[in-house]
Amino acid sequence: MTAFRSHPLRTPLLGPIAVPGDKSISHRALIFGALSVGETTIINLLKGEDVLRTAAAVAAFGTQVEERSDGTWVVHGCGVGGFREPSTVLDLGNSGTGVRLLMGVAATLPGVTFFGGDRSLSGRPMGRVMTPLEKFGATFVSRDGLLPVAVLGAKAPVPVIHEMAVASAQVKSAILLAGLNAPGETTVVETVLTRDHTERMLRGFGADIRVEETEGARRITVAGQPELTGRAIHVPVDPSSAAFFVVAATLVEGSDITIERVSTNPLRAGLFDVLRDMGADIVESNAGDLNGEPVADLRVRAAALNGIDIPASRAPSMIDEYPILAVAAAYAKGNTVMRGLHELRVKESDRLTAIAEGLTACGVGVEITEDNLVVHGCDRHIPGAGQIATLHDHRIAMAFAVLGLAAREAITIDDDSMIGTSFPSFMGLMTGLGANLAAPT
């Protein structure tokens, strides 16, 4: 654990920034490649610890995974139903996406699979995914719905129809993955739309999948026991990672940056729309498509922000971005109200509390009312000088590193060790732009 200080920047952020690939898509590319027949090549895979844990896990299922000298990853798939029983416990570290999606795969495979994780992941709820997966015939053994978990895969899996009780792309994806190895059709019904990388990627690998819009709901149906075919995947830039630089450039006077090939999937890019509503100068160009995912280049220039009221309906498209949005709100003029943030309480930390305590420590007024957060904007005049407890949460660490760039005084962040789980190049990119993120003296 290494503490660091984020000092106010005296110069603007300028030029292009090479932000790494999308974490959600990287996880799925490895898993779907492993479930396919033939070779899948992956360009721009995020080499964060979370994704590497998923790579190791699919290898433990009997898949060959390798990184080539040019940075391209290659997965030699086993096909749907071709995974073998792992001989060791699958340690997913801090990867909630990896563990929940792979629990879906294990639920309809014969044999026993053991899952574990680090202290943070072991405190996150797994019951939300285990309960629907039991419908396939799988059995789960755990204490209080937490890791470690033993999965006894269904010997004769049956297809299911599941109506989502919680808006979670991880749960939805786990069910669809389980359905791949069950006969017949498996259907997920969601009334609150969540990120759809799984549906897009399944279609690209050759699955028979239907997405039907009904009044007030979306039905996603996948036909079981397909033969998926390996393919080439180019992972777009992660909008959740780009968000830190988008907000930094918005806050630091005179900044003008460009980030290329950012995922603009409407179920992921909600933060950019919210920031524009607040007054941010974010312009898209060179719109295109990468393996079924919409992408564009983003140009961001410094701008003054105004507080707004953000309804709960926007939360699913930007749930991971609320820590950095709260930082933007702290610099805005007027109050920003963020509603429906109950999911922030079950992330790598209780993010709702961590955000509020961090902003308070830096001299920003905040209120929490049930699952809503109100930030009293300081109109670009934040005192800083706070001590930030990250609670082993990478997004809290990175968000407050950005806050320090435009504060009056440097802030101290207690731990940088977990940043590598999702964004190993973050510190290097920030310091390359002129940020001073040195250890405290």
- The CA distance from 300 to 263, in Å, is 15
Q: Which helix (H) or strand (E) holds 103?
A: helix 96-107
- The CA distance from 179 to 80, in Å, is 10
- Residue 66: Cβ within 10 Å count: 11
Describe the strand order of the beta sheet including 4-6 as a list of residue ranges. 4-6, 411-413, 387-388
Q: Which of 297, 320, 415, 416 is catalytic?
A: 320
Beta strand segments in 107-180, E: 112-116, 139-143, 146-152, 161-163
426: tokens are: 């973050």
Contact 107, 155 (CB under 8 A): no
Catalytic-residue membership of 320: yes
CA distances from residue 398 to 51, 105, 247, 417 in whole angstroms, order as listed:
18, 32, 11, 11
- The CA distance from 232 to 42, in Å, is 6
DSSP notation for 2-44: --EEEPPPSS--EEE----B-HHHHHHHHHHHHTSEEEEEEES
3-state secondary structure of 362: coil
Contact 354, 387 (CB under 8 A): no
Residue with tokens 């574990």: 116
Contact 430, 437 (CB under 8 A): yes
Contact 223, 185 (CB under 8 A): yes
- The CA distance from 49 to 418, in Å, is 9
Cis peptide before 148 (omega within 30 of 0): yes
Cβ neighbors of 308 (< 8 A, separation 6 or more) are: 274, 277, 278, 336, 337
- The CA distance from 319 to 122, in Å, is 21
* Pair type for strands 293-301 and 281-290: antiparallel
User: Which positions are annotated as active-site residues?
Assistant: 320
